[in-house]
Amino acid sequence: MNYPKDLLYSKSHEWIKYEDKIVIIGITDYAQDSLGDIVFINLPEDGDEVEKGEAFSDVESVKAVSDVISPVTGTICEVNEELLDSPEKINENPYDAWLIKAKEVIDHEDFMNAEEYEVFLKKQ
């Protein structure tokens, strides 16, 4: 399992990257591995609001569906539509396969760095 050092992590297994004022969000290697082969992802739309702690998306594998929790409160400015046709990219490279980008972020969860996240995972 791999956890890039330049990213931040949430307790609900999302990774977060800041590019100026834009926040990019995806799911971690641990998350994609637990889900198994992803067959579909439900993504919100550009302009939708997201709220920290609330689900903004869900991911389907053959046997399960999991919510993806937003680690921030803000407005979506871009959605990775490529994932709608090729959800397997999330399994193949979870850190490339970002889900959404958010702007006007006014609140966020407490984030962990890569080291803290690995420690947190060991306790799972």
**40 touching other proteins, by CB under 8 A:** yes
As a dihedral over the C-alpha atoms of residue 45, residue 85, residue 33, residue 21, rounded to 10 degrees, the angle is -40
Contacting other proteins within 48-87 (CB under 8 A): 60-65, 87
**Residue 37 vs 107, nearer CB to other proteins:** 37
Q: Which helix (H) or strand (E) holds 13?
A: none
Give the CA distances from residue 53 to residues 4, 85, 87, in Å, rounded to whole numbers and listed in that order.
23, 27, 23
Total binding residues for other proteins by CB under 8 A?
11
**88 touching other proteins, by CB under 8 A:** yes
Min separation Cβ 88 and other proteins, Å: 7
**92 touching other proteins, by CB under 8 A:** no
CA-wise closest residue to 18 among 116, 119, 117, 113: 113
Binding region for other proteins (CB under 8 A) = 37, 39-40, 60-65, 87-88
